[in-house]
Chains A and B, each alone.
Chain A
Amino acid sequence: MTQTTISRRAFIQTSVAAGGGLLLGFHVPGADAASVEAHPWKTPTDGVEINAWLTIDRNGVVTVRVPHTEMGQGALTSVAMMIAEELNVDWSKIQAVFADPNRHLTRGREYKVMTTHGSQLVRLQHPHIMQAGASARERLKAAAAQAWRVDRSAVEAKLGVLKSGKRSGTYAEFATAAAAIQLPTEPAIKTPDQWWLLGQSKQRLDIPRKVDGSAAFAIDTRLPGMVYAAVKCCPVPWGKLKSFSFDAVKQRPGVIAAIELKAVPGKTAFSDMQNGVAIVADTWYRAKTALDLMPIEWDFGPAAQSSTESQWAEARKLLEQPGEVSNATGANAIEMIGAGGKVIAAEYHRPWETHARMEPINATVSVTDSRVDVWSPTQDQSLALTLAADQTGRDVKDVFVHTVFLGGGFGGGGGGNTAVTRQAAELSRQLKRPVKVVWSREEDINHDKQRPPNMTAFKALLGDKGLPSAWFTRSVWFTQDGMPRIGAAHADYSIGNMPYKVPNRHHERHNGKTHIPTATHRAPGAGQHGFMTESFVDEVAIAGGWNPLDWRIEMTKGMDDWQRVLLTLKEKSGFRTDLPRGEGMGIGIVESHGSIAAACATVTVSRRGALHVEKLVIVVDSGHVINPLGGIEQCEGSAAWELSHAWVGGLDLKEGRFTNTNFDTYNLLRIDQMPQVDVHFALSGGSKWGGLGEPAGPPVPPAVANAIFYATGKRIRSTPFRSHDLSWS
């Protein structure tokens, strides 16, 4: 271990020992930067606060406070770039730290939004983030103008230097004066044609910390006097704990306590406690071993009857019944299809999937008489704060959430927005010492909030030129309590709102119920359903004698953004349908998070059915891209995410619980399955701002399935692909 690593690590621990001053942020002057600074080799700086978003120190180093969480999607870098753009400072003078959630909640939501989801950071938050940078710049100019007795408009602010005629000074010199200035009116933010920094590729600021083991994740939290808890909740969610026999394990080394955890009626919104039991010990492995050995009896309840088979049987029953109409245009599509003609019909389905973030779900909470401190892998620090306050009965002003790197987010609010934050808060409250709760991988997969399964029936009637004249879909998905938080609209997202100009359309959906906790996953709705619509589109196109790419171009005529993406895909991919048997290309295009993304897959399938995905060409229109390198990384990751589910994923439900709960049975994509990925942007600019953290995923599964069809003649209507026999002769 090197000297620098030791001292940084030691610093982290000492600072935490001193009462958590380290990450608590900005109400403790001078204690703010520390473990989350983007350039870890730089010492934390005492700067002048110009506004909640930034400080400037005497060397001109600008420290940007980022209210969003970093899960590798580039939040630290994006926010810092947007501030640097407006403030006009050299990129090498910028560092990023996490903003303080307690300050946010106790000072009237100073950062406006502190959650991080829906690929929203840049597309929706850029106006107020850039505004903060612009405002700081204008106040620096005003301070210089006052000193120099000139008009503010006569002062130029560039790369950290203020200038008017022969006079000049650094931002640092005017920082204190600027901090006191109130502007009569706030400046407007720049338009994209005025950018000098945004639009350039910048490497993410968090990368150097992630190659030497020094990046702090919630699971790495270590506090003086901390103890470790392993937990087991009823394997069938919402079942009850009948009994457990602590006597059988309490003599084991290091074991401290067994504590029952109880679901609290009325507190089932979003971050639910489940019924279960925790064992607390002096190390996590001792806690986990004792928990595994402890006899526990459960009352599984009626949900123990449910299985994958029973769920699909229920779905097929619902598919026979009219659902809620989500979209209908033109004449009655159902009647038209019922009257006969050339009808294409197919049923598609996709199973449960789980986030399986590489960092297992965990949280550390320290409850003392005066304050509560929380370390949790959450995408929403303000929610984590509220949950801990609620569980411990404390006022939010006494609760401090420490933002740490997330070992994967992927939606659902992050691993911290499960029961775990409440569990750790409850255990620490009872034991009066810091407690770290870590879920075993089996607990993580069985008790995470899952991606809803969906079954959809499609029908299309072919009309003139072999193009569809009527289109009908009926979808069923299963969510806990209809999952109001995701919104019923997601039940047939990317199905009912497909872009194609079919004159007569009718779309229906059912929100089926399940006891399985559900939540958003990367690209909710679109991730599951893009595969269905875009595979069925190929079925319809081919039945009508069309090349699937030409069909899509024809069916989106007059829709400029779709045309741009499809034509770029055509140019970049060289899509063709005449490859020899065993080889195939396929395409898909799906809109989500305000962006349109298309994929072209090239695959080979051996005679015996071994699939190899060689290449993915991805084209995205997100309107604008502030950091192309970061955008490409997100597209690569999104593609891997959806390919993983579609090719090798799928949870199996049996007796009310999932049976494949570790990586020997719940499979994730491995490196030898990863195709080459080429990403191209086809930007429409203007007022369009789309996300990039998710949209490139959904078109990938249909592109691969459509390519498999060309390679083998086999139409795949469910995932994972590996459960299908792909052999051909």
Chain B
Amino acid sequence: MAIALQINGETHTVDTEPETPLLWVLRDNIGLTGTKFGCGIAQCGVCTVHLDGQAVKSCAIPVSAAVGRRITTIEGLTAKGQLHPVQAAWIEAGVPQCGYCQSGQIMAAAALLARRRNPSDQEIDAAMSGNLCRCGTYLRIRQGIRRAAALMQTE
């Protein structure tokens, strides 16, 4: 069945079953492979995208539930060639190691900062505890979020 989606400001029409998770539509149907697959059961967060600005795990959202909503993926976070402050802070803090979890981490962090301009350490841990990093970059994720918060204040 043909389904129209608003992704990163563009309309995409895909032909798939309505129960297909948004993750697989993004990756396999549309080719936006920046959003990753890790567990398929909403436990790891590597598939995190924004739905109307909120961080969601795209492996657990049927594509039908994303119709009519604004979908933003990591590829869409960079606006007009300008890195999002979270991305800039991630480079400064040298967060990524293997990098596989980082699209999800960055999307979760960006949604947190949109909601809380200056999150406490507890708020950071609470907001990010759904995102696993097997390389153990958690310390630099915390640093990156603090740095991004500072960058956003001065913007």
A206 to chain B, nearest CB (A): 7
What residues of chain B lie closer than 8 Å to A698, measured between beta carbons? none
What residues of chain A lie closer than 8 Å to B32, measured between beta carbons? 213
Interface pair B94/A215, CB less than 8 Å apart? no
Interface pair A637/B135, CB less than 8 Å apart? yes
Interface pair A408/B77, CB less than 8 Å apart? no
Q: Decide yes or no whether A583 CB sits under 8 A from chain B.
A: no
B105 to chain A, nearest CB (A): 9
Assess A672 versus B125: contact at CB under 8 Å? Given A222-B31, A357-B134, A663-B44: yes
Q: Which of A2-10, A146-154, A467-475 contacts B (4 or more CB under 8 A)?
A: A2-10
Assess A2 versus B81: contact at CB under 8 Å? Given A209-B99, A283-B29, A637-B97: yes
Q: Decide yes or no whether B2 CB sits under 8 A from chain A.
A: no
Q: Decide yes or no whether A246 CB sits under 8 A from chain B.
A: no
Interface pair B98/A407, CB less than 8 Å apart? yes
What residues of chain A lie closer than 8 Å to B16, measured between beta carbons? 283
B60 to chain A, nearest CB (A): 12
Q: Decide yes or no whether A639 CB sits under 8 A from chain B.
A: yes
Residues 135-151 (chain B) with a chain A CB within 8 angstroms: 135-142
CB < 8 Å neighbour of A358 from B21, B98, B129? B98
What residues of chain A lie closer than 8 Å to B29, measured between beta carbons? 283
Interface pair B33/A213, CB less than 8 Å apart? yes
Tally of A-B Cβ pairs under 8 angstroms: 187
Bound-state Cα–Cα, A395 to B58, Å: 42
Which residue of chain A has its CB nearest to the CB of B136?
Answer: A640
Interface pair A1/B98, CB less than 8 Å apart? no
Q: What 0/1 readout, one digit per residue, does chain A (650-684) give for beta carbons within 8 Å of chain B?
A: 00000000000011100011111010110000000
Interface pair B83/A204, CB less than 8 Å apart? no
A716 to chain B, nearest CB (A): 22
What residues of chain A lie closer than 8 Å to B135, measured between beta carbons? 72, 358, 408, 637, 640
Q: Tell me whether chain B's interface is mostly helix, strand or loop, or mixed.
A: loop
Assess A640 versus B138: contact at CB under 8 Å? Given A206-B99, A285-B21, A359-B98: yes
Q: What 0/1 readout, one digit per residue, does chain A (332-354) give for beta carbons within 8 Å of chain B?
A: 00000000000000000000000
Binding site for A on B (CB under 8 A): 8-10, 16-17, 20-21, 24, 27-29, 31-41, 43-44, 46, 73-83, 87, 90-91, 94-103, 106, 124-126, 128-129, 131-142
Which residue of chain A has its CB nearest to the CB of B138?
Answer: A674
Interface pair B96/A72, CB less than 8 Å apart? yes
Which residue of chain B has its CB nearest to the CB of A663?
Answer: B43
What residues of chain B lie closer than 8 Å to A406, measured between beta carbons? 98
What residues of chain A lie closer than 8 Å to B37, measured between beta carbons? 219, 360, 438
Interface pair B39/A663, CB less than 8 Å apart? yes
Q: Decide yes or no whether A207 CB sits under 8 A from chain B.
A: yes
Q: Decide yes or no whether A356 CB sits under 8 A from chain B.
A: yes
CB < 8 Å neighbour of A212 from B28, B77, B94, B141? B77
Q: Decide yes or no whether A217 CB sits under 8 A from chain B.
A: yes
